Structure 1
Amino acid sequence: MEQRRQIGLAAAIAVVTGESIALGIFLTPAAMAKSLGSPALLAAVWCGMAVMAFSGALCYAELAIRYPRAGGEYVYLREGYGPRIAFLYGWMSAAVVDPGIAAALAVGALPYVETLIHLPPRLATFLPALALLAICAVNYAGTRLSSGVMATANLLKIAVLVALVAWAWLSGHASSANLLPLTVRRTGSDPLFAAIAGAIVSAFFSFGGWWEAGKLAGEIRNPKRNLPLAFTFGVLLVTVVYLLVSAAFLSVVPVEHITSNTAFVAQFGEALFGHAGGRVLSVCVLLSVLGGLLALTMAAPRVYYAMARDGEFFSVFGRLHPLFGTPANAILLQTCMALLILLFGAFDRILAYIIFSAVCFLALSVSTLFRLKEPVRRWWYPAAPIVFLFCAVVIALLILLHSPVPALVGVTVVLAGGMLLRRFSGTTAQTAPATQSSLP
């Protein structure tokens, strides 16, 4: 049974924006602005990260056109560097990254739910798990249903964020004077190099996820047209939203008044909406988290599905549901792993461990463009992959300097997947489908 192409352009764009715009946009601008001490520096960091993301989006669009199959980076790495590297990426995704992000978003949303509704302690404990199960059910029940819900949630999220920006200015609470002087660093800012380094890493985290649309390539209608549009337009939309929201935040709450991330959200909400500000901002945060969870739970299982179809993972995860046509078992695996991480409460530490490895795999995926038998003939080549690879190396070095132990532990966890690879190495050659490779 083959996957049906049921995902349109709007849903593909929603995957890009949904993964990127989640909880981070309400938290990272405050920390970045406080550390950098200058609105101009904050805008420069956002724009620099946008250049990296847009360069990567062009590269991923080309790869997705050449390999319009489920799996995204797994497919690109398999074609470029063989099954061993691809398996390690899939292992990292299945065991740590995807369920860790899902667990982090679910738990991160809980305080905002509690500002809207008083929850008994027992229900509050189980609410993140119930949210993950509900989103799992939506994705299990059909790609058409899940893509429709996900696209609606993410487009509504963007509309709400734009409305927040508009209200900040129309209500008179925002003042351009709070942004001035644009280039002068405020008293109390961190040392310049440390501030820029920390802000770059935070910006990368906030932009993270734009690449997820490639994992759905096997189900996107007219992929040669829709995938490049989804990647490029999605990244541009995320960039515009981040610049507008950051400007609105700092126009309402000046840099020198920021004390902490959580306090900043409360400050912004109260300034715009008075005593109801916390509740209004909580709704905005929950919309962002919901859109991110829906996009993640839709895209991530396609990696495990693709691995199983290639004979490099348990075959049960390579089956489509006979009625819904979804990779149902892979969706259940992703949800079960997220629930397990919730149980142990270790999602924050796990996320710290895998970021370095994630950057390395992104760079490897982009570098496959240089290994294609049929060379890329685009106006942006080879500038885009070179820019992306340079930025990835810089970010990886910054992470190593800032958190060497978690980075190295993350690498160890990923390499440990090589032991599991032996379980499938004997069957891969027999079960892997014959694919036409464009690589030597």
Structure 2
Amino acid sequence: MSIKPKLGLFDFTMIVVSLVIGMGIFRTPINVAREVSSPTQFYAIWVLGGIVTLCGALSYAEIGARFPVAGGFYKVLSYCYHPAYAFMINWTVLISNAASVAAVCMIGAEYIGPVMLPPGLQNEVGHKIVGILAILLLYGINMLGIRMSATWQNFLTVIKITMIGLLCMAIWGNNVAPPSTTAVRDTIEQNWFYVFGAALVPVFFTYGGYQQTINFGSDVRNPSRNMPRGIFIGMAIILTAYITINYAYVKVIGFEQLRTSDALAARMVGAFFGDYGFKITSILLFLSVLGYANVNLISNPRMYYAMAEDRVLPRVFMKVNNKTQVQQVALSVFVALIIGIVFFLGTFDKILKYVMLFDTIGLASAAASLFILRRKQKELPAGEIYKMKLYPYPTILFVTVYLLVTVNIFIQDWVGALIGLSMFFIGLPIFFAMRKAVKDKEMP
């Protein structure tokens, strides 16, 4: 039933890239542009978000090296705080992750729909069918084994990076927008805390996902060395790609036009490839969607494993196929949750706020656990694990900014935030009920 390490440095680096680069970069720049008043602020938000994200990624690299276990995102919270708090964070994170995958699959279906669907099915029903079929395809691939999943993931990640490269090439096309003029918006009269906080919500959503890397502690060979290196290399690729593509968006589309654009990728590739741009974009974006969904199907069942190991979920969630290294029950439950959410999916903007509310609390809590880990693991020999430079300042910056973003989410939509927060607290009675049920079942 144990998980055996089968992933190397390249595999893990590709997982890092795929966990972060989903569909957000092809949509959220619009949301960011709407919250700021000039191209300078637009770039500053992305650079600031990148710096904070790098601080978080380095913190998680040390956490992963110090605590290399399956479902590390749950385990480290349980070890450093309390199993109840770890469960409350992770059960909401699992729901938000499933919602993110469902939302991304639906966006991908909207792109690929005109290419593969007949006219009568180019609607919401047709998009849901495509989204569900894509999820089921990945489910079948993942059931074949972790090695097959990783190989497929490497291919899809290369496609995704190629897609971003093609978008950046649009700056040399013939349809480049004239230089943007800075226009003062109404929001400029609001205080900087609101403007920057509101803009950082979509930025952090786009940069997010790297936290799931600590779920692969039992899957990676030589984790104390390969996990920090994979996270650092992966984040370097992501930061370079994001800054470059946002420069290309403003250069090709124009800052003012960016606020009202819808199909960013199609417009970008169309500027370079002309009439063939839309079809090329549709296919590549759909493959990018598959990459994002696939890596979540690999990662999230590991959290079920950790919670079952801690006896807050039935032990059947720990069941691993010895040959394929697949958690067949946990994977099936997560896929069923995604498919269920597809039928009740809201708008992207609403999903964004709910996902980020859970993520900001969870990410700040997990990063802060590094302070506790360092205190509890003083006996570890120096030089055997990765230690972040300039500690504790990067972690303090990361936790502080994420908590400020949490406050800003409440300012923007306090009713929705309270609803989301109530889901977090509902996890407490569920934790005690599940733990009691598991213990009663195990008693003779």
Aligned counterpart in structure 2 of residue 148 of structure 1, from 147, 151, 157: 151
> What letter matches 1:113 in structure 2?
I
| Aligned twin of 2:183 | 186
**Code of the aligned partner of 1:418:** L
Query: Which amino acid counterpart does residue 116 of structure 2 have in structure 1?
Result: I
Question: Unpaired segments of 5 or more residues in structure 2?
Answer: 379-385
Q: Is the contact between residue 103 and residue 341 of structure 1 (CA under 8 Å) also seen in structure 2?
A: yes
Partner of residue 140 from structure 2, selected from 137, 142, 145? 137
Q: Which amino acid aligns with 1:412?
A: S
Instruction: Please name the residue that 1:260 is paired with.
Output: 260
Q: Following the alignment from structure 2 to structure 1, what is the Cα–Cα distance between the partners of residues 319 and 299?
A: 16
- Listed as ranges, the matches of 1:15-34 within 5 Å are 15-34=15-34
Which residue of 2 is the match for residue 236 of structure 1? 236
* CA distance 1:431–1:83, shift in 2 (3 Å): farther
Q: Which residue of the partner structure matches residue 13 of structure 2?
A: 13
**d(CA) in 1 for partners of 2:281 and 2:187?**
28
Q: How far does residue 342 in structure 1 lie from its aligned partner after superposition?
A: 1.6
Specify whether residues 352 and 41 from structure 1 end up closer, same or farther in structure 2 by C-alpha distance, changes over 3 A only. closer
2:410 corresponds to which letter in structure 1? L
Tell me how many residue pairs correspond in the alignment: 425
Q: 1:310 aligns to what?
A: 310
Unaligned runs of 5+ in 1: 433-440
SS at 1:220 equivalent: coil
Task: Determine what percentage of the aligned residue pairs are the same residue.
Answer: 25
**Separation in structure 1 between the aligned mates of residue 369 and residue 13 of structure 2, nearest angstrom:** 24
RMSD in angstroms over aligned alpha carbons?
Answer: 2.5
The letter of the residue matching 1:330 is A
Instruction: Write the distance in 1 (CA, Å) between the matches of 2:399 and 2:83.
Output: 22
Alpha-carbon distance between aligned partners in 1 of 2:365 and 2:263, rounded to the nearest angstrom: 39
2:383 aligned residue: none
Cα distance in 1, alignment partners of residues 197 and 228 from structure 2 = 30
Say which SS state the counterpart of residue 320 (structure 1) adopts.
Answer: coil
8 Å Cα contact 1:103/1:347 also seen in 2: no
**Structure 2 CA distance for partners of 1:298 and 1:246, relative to 1, 3 Å:** same
Counterpart amino acid of residue 423 in structure 1: A
Question: What is residue 160 of structure 2 aligned with on the other side?
Answer: 157
Alignment of 1:13-412 (within 5 A): 13-94=13-94, 96-119=95-118, 120-121=120-121, 123-165=126-168, 167-174=169-176, 178=179, 185-188=182-185, 190-191=187-188, 193=192, 194-258=194-258, 260-262=260-262, 264-346=264-346, 349=350, 352-372=353-373, 373-375=376-378, 378-412=388-422
Q: CA 1:428–1:228 in structure 2 vs 1: closer, same or farther (change >3 Å)?
A: farther
* Larger mean Cα displacement after TM superposition, 390-399 or 366-375: 366-375
- 1:423 to 1:244, Cα distance in 2 relative to 1, 3 A: same
The letter for the 1-side match of 2:228 is P
The Cα shift of 1:386 comes to: 0.6
* Displacement after TM superposition at 1:186 (Å): 2.4
Q: Does the 8 Å contact 1:353/1:408 carry over to 2?
A: no
- Kindly provide the amino acid, as one letter, of the partner of residue 394 in structure 1: L
Q: 1:225 to 1:358 in 2, by over 3 A?
A: same
Alignment TM-score, normalising by the size of structure 1: 0.89
Q: Provide the TM-score with structure 2 as the length reference.
A: 0.89
C-alpha contact 2:60 2:367 (8 A) present in aligned 1 = yes
Q: 2:426 aligned with 1:416, yes or no?
A: yes
Change (3 A) 1:246 1:41: same
CA change 1:29–1:149 in 2 (3 A) is: same
- Matching residue's letter, 2:361: C
Q: Which residue number in structure 2 is paired with residue 2 of structure 1?
A: 2
Q: CA deviation at 1:323?
A: 3.0
- How far off is 1:345 after superposition? 3.2
State how far apart, in whole Å, the 2-side matches of 1:400 and 1:406 are.
8
1:437 matched residue in structure 2: none
Q: Give the Cα–Cα distance (whole angstroms) in 1 for the partners of residues 413 and 340 of structure 2.
A: 25
Task: After TM superposition, give the deviation of residue 98 of structure 1 in Å.
Answer: 2.0
**3-state SS in 2 of match to 1:2:** coil
Cα deviation digits, residues 327-362 of structure 1 (max 9, x gap): 111111100111111233358556533421321111
- Aligned to 1:285, the other structure's residue is in SS state helix
1:19 deviation in Å?
2.1
In the aligned structure 2, how far is the partner of 1:431 from the partner of 1:393? Answer: 39
SS of the residue 2:218 aligns to: helix
Deviation, structure 1 residue 259: 5.1
Question: What letter matches 1:108 in structure 2?
Answer: I
Rounded to whole Å, the distance in 2 between the matches of 1:421 and 1:256 is 48
Aligned partner letter, 1:228:
P
Tell me the amino acid that sits aligned with residue 153 of structure 2: M
User: How has the CA–CA distance of structure 1 residues 430 and 240 changed in structure 2, closer, same or farther, with 3 Å as cutoff?
Assistant: farther
2-side partners of 1:93 and 1:258: how far apart?
Answer: 31
